[in-house]
């Protein structure tokens, strides 16, 4: 998938001290929000996680497309010119 791209982006975000402070503030506010809205926040987090996992499972379980049969394949071994 795109793990390398995400790691590259996170690496650039963590270079600057101001972006590290902003991300730390967001994480602190998120943990406070999760604690304050405990039963509802768990449902919302579960829905967000499920919304990201379900498409991956659907793509993995989707039936494979079969290539159409070539009607000329049965003549592949026949010689075209006589000896």
Residue 45 has pLDDT above 90, yes or no: yes
Residues 3-15: tens digit of each pLDDT: 888 899 888 888 8
Mean local confidence (pLDDT), 38-48: 94
- Determine the length of the chain: 83
In whole angstroms, how far apart are CA 46 and each of 52, 54, 58, 60?
A: 10, 12, 18, 21
φ and ψ at residue 68, rounded to 5 degrees: -65, 150
Residue 36 has pLDDT above 90, yes or no: yes
Residues 13-27: tens digit of each pLDDT: 888 888 889 988 998
Mean local confidence (pLDDT), 43-48: 95
Residue 57 has pLDDT above 90, yes or no: yes
Q: Are 34 and 46 in contact (CB under 8 A)?
A: no
pTM greater than the 0.85 cutoff = no
Q: Are 2 and 10 in contact (CB under 8 A)?
A: no
């Amino acid at each position: 998938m795109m793990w390398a791209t995400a790691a590259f982006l996170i690496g650039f975000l963590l270079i600057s001290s101001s972006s590290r402070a902003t991300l730390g503030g967001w994480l602190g506010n998120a943990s406070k929000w999760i604690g304050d809205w405990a039963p509802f926040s768990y449902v919302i987090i579960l829905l967000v996680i499920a919304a990201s996992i379900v498409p991956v499972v659907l793509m993995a379980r989707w039936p494979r497309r079969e290539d159409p049969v070539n009607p000329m394949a049965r003549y592949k071994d026949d010689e075209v010119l006589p000896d």
